[in-house]
C-alpha cells in the first residue's frame, strides 16, 4: 500500500523548528512520503519545507481562528485526489516519531484513532469543550474514552468520509469554543458513526497523548495519575516507553519541559 504522513501548518517561518522535529523524526523510521499543507504560505515558506524533503502544498485558510477544524476540509480535499492508500494525519507542532507509525496498523480496519487513557467525564477540558459545542450529545460522550483528533490514520476513502463528517459537525456546532475537531470526533465515535474503526489504546504503544498521560502539571493535580486506565508512560534512555516498549508516536511532548528538551535536541 502506498503510504503518506500528512500535516498542516500555518506561520511556517515561526514554526519551522517544530516542522523539522516532525518531519525528520518520521524520516528516521519510514520511507513513506511526507506532505505538509502550507496554510497562507509564502514562496520562501514553501522552499524551506521542500528543502526538508517534504512535499509542500499551498492552501488558503481565511479564518485562522477556527484553523483546528478548517484544516479538516483542506486535508480531505487533498486526500480525495491523492495516490496514497494508507494515510496518517497528525498535528505538526507537537508530534515526534520514535518508530514506524504504520507498523502496528491492522489493515482489516479502515480507521485508526488513539485513546488518551481516561474517560471524558474524568477530564475537565474535553468535558467543557463538548458541553459548549455539542450540549445535546454530552451525556452520550461521558463514558467514552477520550480519543485525540491530533493523530488519525486510515484508508483513503474512509478517511475522507470521516474528515468531512467531522467538518460538517464542527460547522453546524455552536461557536462557544474555537477548537472543535476533537469534540466532533468524540461525538461521532460515541454514537458509533465511524465504521470499522480501531481504537488504539496506550497499551498498544501506537500513540501517547502527553497532555493527559504524561507527567504535566495536571497529571496529579487533576487526578489523571489515578484515573489513567493503562500503564503510565515514562522516559527512559531518551525515549518514551510503556513498560519495555517505545511508543511509535509521541504527541504533546512539549507540555513536559524535560521530555521536550530530550526528544527534540537531535533535530536542532
Q: Please state the pTM of the whole predicted model.
A: 0.97
> 207, 218 in Cβ contact below 8 A?
no
Nearest to 156 by CA among 2, 27, 35: 2
CA 139, 145, 148, 153 torsion-angle sign: negative
> 37, 78 in Cβ contact below 8 A?
yes
Find the helix or strand (DSSP H, E) in which 268 lies.
Answer: none
CATH hierarchy code of domain 3-267: 3.90.550.10
According to DSSP, the residues that pair with 97 across neighbouring strands are: 249
Confidence class for position 13, pLDDT limits 50, 70, 90: very high
pLDDT in tens, 93-145: 999 999 999 999 999 999 999 999 999 999 999 999 999 999 999 999 999 99
Distance, CA of 25 to CA of 267 (rounded, Å): 8
Phi, psi of 191 (to 5 degrees): -95, 10
What local confidence, expressed as pLDDT, does residue 33 receive? Answer: 98
pLDDT in tens, 173-218: 999 999 999 999 999 999 999 999 999 999 999 999 999 999 998 8
What local confidence, expressed as pLDDT, does residue 155 receive? Answer: 98
> 253, 216 in Cβ contact below 8 A?
no
Domain residue spans in the chain? Answer: 3-267
Place of cell 497532555: 211
pLDDT > 90: what percent of the chain?
97
Q: Which of 1-5, 16-20, 51-55, 215-219 is the least confident region? A: 215-219
Distance, CA of 246 to CA of 206 (rounded, Å): 9
Strands 249-251 and 207-209 come out as: parallel
Residue 192: half-sphere exposure toward Cβ, Cα within 13 Å: 0
Nearest to 155 by CA among 72, 248, 82: 82
Amino acid at each position: 500500500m502506498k503510504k503518506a504522513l500528512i500535516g498542516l501548518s500555518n506561520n511556517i517561518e515561526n514554526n519551522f523548528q517544530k516542522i523539522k522535529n516532525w518531519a525528520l523524526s518520521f524520516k528516521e523510521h519510514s520511507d513513506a512520503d511526507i506532505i505538509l499543507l502550507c496554510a497562507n504560505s509564502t514562496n520562501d515558506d514553501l522552499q524551506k519545507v521542500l528543502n526538508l524533503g517534504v512535499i509542500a502544498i499551498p492552501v488558503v485558510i481565511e479564518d485562522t481562528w477556527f484553523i483546528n477544524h478548517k484544516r479538516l476540509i483542506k486535508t480531505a480535499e487533498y486526500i480525495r485526489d491523492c495516490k496514497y492508500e494508507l494515510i496518517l494525519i497528525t498535528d505538526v507542532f507537537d508530534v515526534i516519531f520514535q518508530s514506524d507509525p504504520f507498523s502496528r496498523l491492522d489493515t482489516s480496519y479502515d480507521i485508526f484513532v488513539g485513546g488518551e487513557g481516561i474517560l471524558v467525564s474524568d477530564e475537565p477540558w474535553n468535558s467543557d469543550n463538548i458541553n459548549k459545542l455539542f450540549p445535546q450529545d454530552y451525556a452520550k460522550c461521558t463514558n467514552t474514552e477520550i480519543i485525540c483528533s491530533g493523530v488519525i490514520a486510515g484508508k483513503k476513502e474512509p478517511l475522507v468520509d470521516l474528515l468531512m463528517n467531522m467538518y460538517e459537525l464542527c460547522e453546524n456546532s455552536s461557536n462557544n469554543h474555537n477548537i472543535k475537531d476533537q469534540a466532533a470526533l468524540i461525538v461521532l465515535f460515541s454514537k458509533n458513526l465511524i465504521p470499522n474503526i480501531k481504537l488504539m489504546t496506550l497499551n498498544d504503544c501506537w500513540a501517547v497523548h502527553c497532555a493527559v498521560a504524561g507527567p504535566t502539571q495536571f497529571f496529579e493535580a487533576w487526578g489523571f495519575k489515578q484515573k489513567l486506565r493503562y500503564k503510565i508512560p515514562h522516559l527512559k534512555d531518551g525515549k518514551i516507553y510503556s513498560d519495555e516498549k517505545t511508543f511509535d508516536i509521541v504527541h504533546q511532548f512539549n507540555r513536559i519541559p524535560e521530555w521536550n528538551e530530550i526528544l527534540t535536541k537531535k533535530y536542532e
